[in-house]
A and B are shown apart, each in its own frame.
Chain A
Amino acid sequence: MKLERRLTQPRWLPIAVPVGSLVVAFAIMGVILVLTGRSAWETYWKIVEAGFTGNGALSATLISATPILFTGLAAAAAFRMQLFNIGAEGQLYLGAIGASWIALQLGDRDVTSTPVFVVAMCVAAAVLGAFWALIPGVLRAFARTNEIITSLMLNYVAGLLLTYLIFDSASYWRDTSTLQARSFPQGKPIPEASNWPTFGSSVIVPLGFLIGILAALGLWVLYSRMRFGFEVGVMADSPRAARYAGMRTRRKILAVMALSGAIAGIGGASQIGDFTYTLDGSPTGLQAAAFGYTGIVVAALARYNPVAVCLVAVLIGGLLNAGYTLQGPDFPSGLVGVMQGIILFCALGGELLLRYRLRITRLWPNKPVVEAPS
């Protein structure tokens, strides 16, 4: 058996391989379920029901899908340029901090227009998220420091910042109005007018999800139809060729990191405006949700295509939602992570088939020994 690099790629391959790997993943999981004494079909059906078809399931799924849509887009935007920004987690926190700050500030000034709040929160979140991503970005662009570790470290710093703001300080964000709030630290609730609207009645679509779709479309256009994307493509494939063509790589690194961080930041704004209505600094809140890391999984499964990210985010959101809903003796916690992991493993493995072809040849054919000329 040997692996040969492919020269051409048949059209159907980029679709067949991800679908095929999903099928394999579900098969493997089915085996695991059966081995632990559960019915695979039943479990899958329950997941579909809890995630998508059941009463109110889709709305709940969209709640789970929205943040990972943003972090997935953030990861896709960066990874397309071989910039491995795994700091979307921290960038989202910073976005949340910024969005809640501006919401509270505007509320103090008696602003009542919801559109104003929404725009302000998104802008503030984008700015802070971009800033947080620019730290590893600057280090990468000017000191050639590996952005993987720097962005990862900053996730932790961001988390600690969040904890600090709510738990260990009398910061602006902290609610000190009631005795209860003073004893059990929590964030100030944002004004009612700044709560983001939702759309639809049978399926409730959060505004954040729609913003995310828009961002996905924008990202798609940027990367496939604009000069920006052309340059990113060249830089990702051959940095030397990019320099040769006069492309400004350093600027592009900063731009892409900022873009990635901004998108993740808006995800944080959505968390505040759509769902929590307050800055949740507790260790069981934002910080436990792992939106950033899940976003990377989403982006990887979507092969970094912004439109596919939307779809995958909903699918994974459904899986996560089903996990929360079904938690119990019949549906052990941990199944969600296991399933995500297996899907991703299979997708990674399938990736190989896209670039290489499997050939079965006999290496040393059984030919009779030929007398060497003396």
Chain B
Amino acid sequence: MTGISKRFPGVVANDGVSFEAAPGEVHALLGENGAGKTTLSNILTGLYRPDEGEIELYGESVRFQSPRDALDAGICMVHQHFRLVEPFSVAENVVLGDHRGEGRRFVLRTSATEQRVDELSQRYGLAVNPKAKIWQLSIGEQQRVEILKALYRDARILILDEPTAVLTPQEAEMLFVTLRSMFDEGKTVIFISHKLHEVKAVADRVTVLRGGRTVATVDAGPSTPRSLAALMVGREVDIHRGRMRESAPGEEIVLAVEGVTVPDDRGGNALRDVSLEIRSGEILGVAGVAGNGQRELAEAISGMRAHSTGTVRVGGDRLRPGDPRAAIAARVAHVQEDRLGTGLAPSLSIARNTAFKTYRSPPASRGPFLMLRNMAAAARSLISTYDVKAPGPETPARNLSGGNLQKLVLGREFQGDPRVLVVAQPTRGLDVGAIESVHAYIGGAADRGVAVLLISEDLEEILGLADRVIVLYEGSVAGEVDATSATVAELGFLMAGGKSE
């Protein structure tokens, strides 16, 4: 790919990016969130059309008008958010849209397809039942289906977008084994990631993207995590962030969760008999691979999801399960993972969004009537205090960038003078400046005596901010460690299901 540029309203995602990969190579695309990796791969797979630039495949210039062209050319992608049809079976998903070979038949031959899927899954070590429906499978199994789709089509180039984000370390290992068997066959694997150690472990060469531009293409062997990080961020960076604050928890137990079982969306339980305590001024980190109950824990505490057993107490008072209002009244603040999806209403103005917690009483309202001017004034003060870059209080929330949204939500939550702060993935997708601000706000809250529950996939972040860390594995607490003395390796072990001694 040479000189690729792609612009969206308000942002330049790719700016003259050039990158190339050879057959039988595992080539990693490394960069922070927002560096342009996903956009680039979407262009390669025909989902987007570039504003400028050329793509050459095996020496020939190609133009993809749609995903179909890319698929025909042998390029397959496993997206971060799977492109599967849930009510269909594995076999049906694999064969969907295939118009070559077996797929050319007008009438479907289900059993033949299932057989072929079986063969492929045996050959590449991707065990999955071809007749099973997608909604019945685990995330790891669903990812295998995605890879099978590519193998079924004899893909020559396989693109994996942050594949290990949803896998345990063991499953990630299995994936790497599968990948190695693929490049033995001369296939090219393009591996998109922001995790340095993975890239180092699996890739032959690495292209680093930053701010939509190519920074460098280096061989993985001689590079170190530190040199790669430097390229990613643009300066020498101490990748072990170290402690960001002094631990000084108070005496009083502010949040007490006892024996809580929380249902998930599929009819089972996301959390089983979980207990934890947080004191005032203490930060409890929650580590674990996504999907082990973290989101449900946050939702249970903030009342968005009803727990079926156990109690949640704030300052000794029991909160009614599944009642967000009770949590709000108890001054529990919840900063969600998907800011624009759950914490904010995208089309509404900043002024209205900041009034979520305050609109029921003066000054935002008087009786049943809204005091719109007061709401706008409150929004303006929040915008300036938390350094949110926005044209004004009437701007729709969706116009703001990720960092500014996060600051906005944090500002809103802090306005309510919370006693408990539940914050999930606070710095996902933010640039370095915003990350620092957010860490400062969280640390500052703890210093003021707020009990903080910090859920994060970024182990460095947890170890840097938290006092203690618990690890969630399959809905239970796998272990608890002291943040000042724990290592990433220890946490990884617990995250994969190992039991602490």
Direct touch of chains A and B (CB < 8 A): yes
- Chain B residues whose C-beta falls within 8 Å of the C-beta of A228 in the assembled complex: 368
Residue of A nearest to B325 (CB): A246
Task: Determine if A244 and B348 form an interchain contact, defined as CB atoms under 8 angstroms apart.
Answer: no
Per-residue contact bits, chain A 301-315, to B (CB 8 Å; 1 contact, 0 not)? 000000000000000
Q: Does B3 make an interface contact (CB < 8 A)?
A: yes
Contacts known (A228-B368, A363-B49); A243 close to B304, Cβ less than 8 A: yes
On chain B, the residues within 8 Å of A227 by CB distance are 359-360, 365, 368-370
Among B302, B303, B323, B369, the residue within 8 A (CB) of A225 is B369
1/0 per residue A1-37: CB within 8 Å of B? Answer: 0001111100000000000000000000000000000
Q: Is the CB of B346 within 8 A of A238?
A: yes
Note all chain B residues with C-beta closer than 8 A to A360. Answer: none
Task: Confirm or deny: B399 has a beta carbon within 8 angstroms of a beta carbon on chain A.
Answer: yes
A244 near B324: Cβ-Cβ < 8 Å:
yes
B345 at the interface (CB under 8 A from A): yes
> Contact at B54–A370, with CB atoms within 8 Å?
yes
B345 touches A237 (CB 8 A): yes
CA of A238 to CA of B2 in the docked complex: distance in angstroms?
A: 40
A288 interfacial contact with B, CB 8 Å: no
Stretch at the interface among B139-147, B334-342, B444-452: B334-342
Of A5, A233, A246, the residue contacting B348 (CB under 8 A) is A233
Question: Contacts A233-B352, A243-B304, A244-B336 given: A372-B370 contact, CB under 8 Å?
Answer: no
> Which residues 273-308 of A sit at the B interface, judged by CB distance below 8 A?
none
Q: Are B49 and A241 in contact (CB under 8 A)?
A: no
Q: Is the CB of A230 within 8 A of B341?
A: no
Any chain A CB within 8 A of the CB of B344?
yes
How far apart sit A338 and B324, CA to CA, in the bound complex (Å)? Answer: 50
A245:B54 contact, CB within 8 angstroms: no
* B342–A370 touching, CB < 8 Å: no
- Cβ-based interface call for A369 (8 A): yes
Which one, B51, B59, B304, contacts A372 given CB within 8 A?
B59
A227-B365, A364-B49 as given contacts; A237 in contact with B357, CB under 8 Å: no
Contact present for A241 and B399 (CB under 8 Å): no
What is the distance, in angstroms, from B391's C-beta to the closest C-beta of chain A? Answer: 9
Annotate A117-139 by CB proximity to B: 1 below 8 A, 0 otherwise.
00000000000000000000000
Partner of A230, one of B52, B357, B370: B370
Bound Cα distance from A7 to B327, whole angstroms: 35
- CB of A367 within 8 Å of the partner chain: yes
B68 located at the interface, meaning its Cβ lies under 8 Å from any Cβ of chain A in the complex: no
Partner of A7, one of B59, B352, B399: B399
Q: Which residue of A lies closest to B53 (CB)?
A: A367
Within 8 A of B (CB), among A233-264: 233-234, 237-238, 240-246
- Assess the B9–A5 pair: CB atoms within 8 A: yes
Q: Is B63 an interface residue (CB 8 A)?
A: yes
Q: What is the distance, in angstroms, from B351's C-beta to the closest C-beta of chain A?
A: 11
Q: Is A200 an interface residue (CB 8 A)?
A: no
Interchain Cβ contacts within 8 Å, total number:
87
> Does B415 make an interface contact (CB < 8 A)?
no
Q: For A367, give its contact among B54, B56, B344 (CB under 8 Å).
A: B54
B356 contact from A229, A234, A369, A372, Cβ within 8 A: A234
A226 touches B356 (CB 8 A): no
| C-alpha spacing A226/B359, complex, angstroms | 10
Report if A238-B344 is in contact (Cβ < 8 Å); known contacts: A243-B304, A372-B20: yes
Whole-angstrom CA separation of A238 from B20 in the bound complex: 42
B61 in the interface, Cβ–Cβ < 8 Å? yes
CB proximity of B24 to chain A, nearest CB, Å: 16
A214, chain B: closest CB distance, angstroms: 18
Check if B222 is an interface residue, CB within 8 A of chain A. no
Q: A7-B9, A227-B360 are in contact. Are A244 and B54 (CB under 8 A)?
A: no
Closest to B299 in A: A244
B67 touches A (CB below 8 Å): no
A373 at the binding interface (Cβ < 8 Å): yes
In angstroms, Cα B324 to Cα A352, docked, is 36
Would you call B343 and A241 a contact (CB within 8 A)?
Answer: yes
A233, B334: Cα distance in complex, Å: 21
- Closest residue of A by beta carbon distance from B22: A374
In the complex, whether B10 has a CB less than 8 A from a CB of chain A is yes
Residue of B nearest to A222 (CB): B368
A97 to chain B, nearest CB (A): 32
Interface pair B369/A226, CB less than 8 Å apart? yes
For the complex, give the distance between the alpha carbons of A187 and B324 in Å. Answer: 52
1/0 contact trace for B33-49 toward A, CB 8 Å?
Answer: 00000000000000001
B345 engages A370 (CB within 8 Å): no
B20 near A240 with CB under 8 A, answer no
In the complex, what's the smallest C-beta–C-beta distance from B7 to chain A, in angstroms?
Answer: 10
> A372 touching B369 by the CB < 8 A rule?
no
User: Which single member of A4, A229, A233, A372 contacts B56 (CB below 8 Å)?
Assistant: A372
Is A328 close to B, CB under 8 A?
A: no
With CB as the reference atom, state the residue of chain A lying closest to B339. Answer: A241
List 5 tightest A-B contacts by C-beta distance, closest first.
A246-B325, A245-B356, A237-B345, A246-B324, A238-B345
20 contacts between A and B (CB under 8 A): A6-B9, A7-B10, A8-B399, A225-B370, A225-B372, A226-B369, A227-B360, A238-B344, A241-B356, A244-B343, A244-B356, A245-B328, A245-B356, A245-B357, A246-B323, A246-B324, A369-B61, A370-B3, A372-B2, A372-B56
In the complex, given contacts A5-B9, A246-B328, what are 8 additional A-B residue pairs having Cβ atoms less than 8 angstroms apart? A8-B399, A225-B372, A227-B369, A227-B370, A230-B370, A237-B348, A244-B356, A372-B56
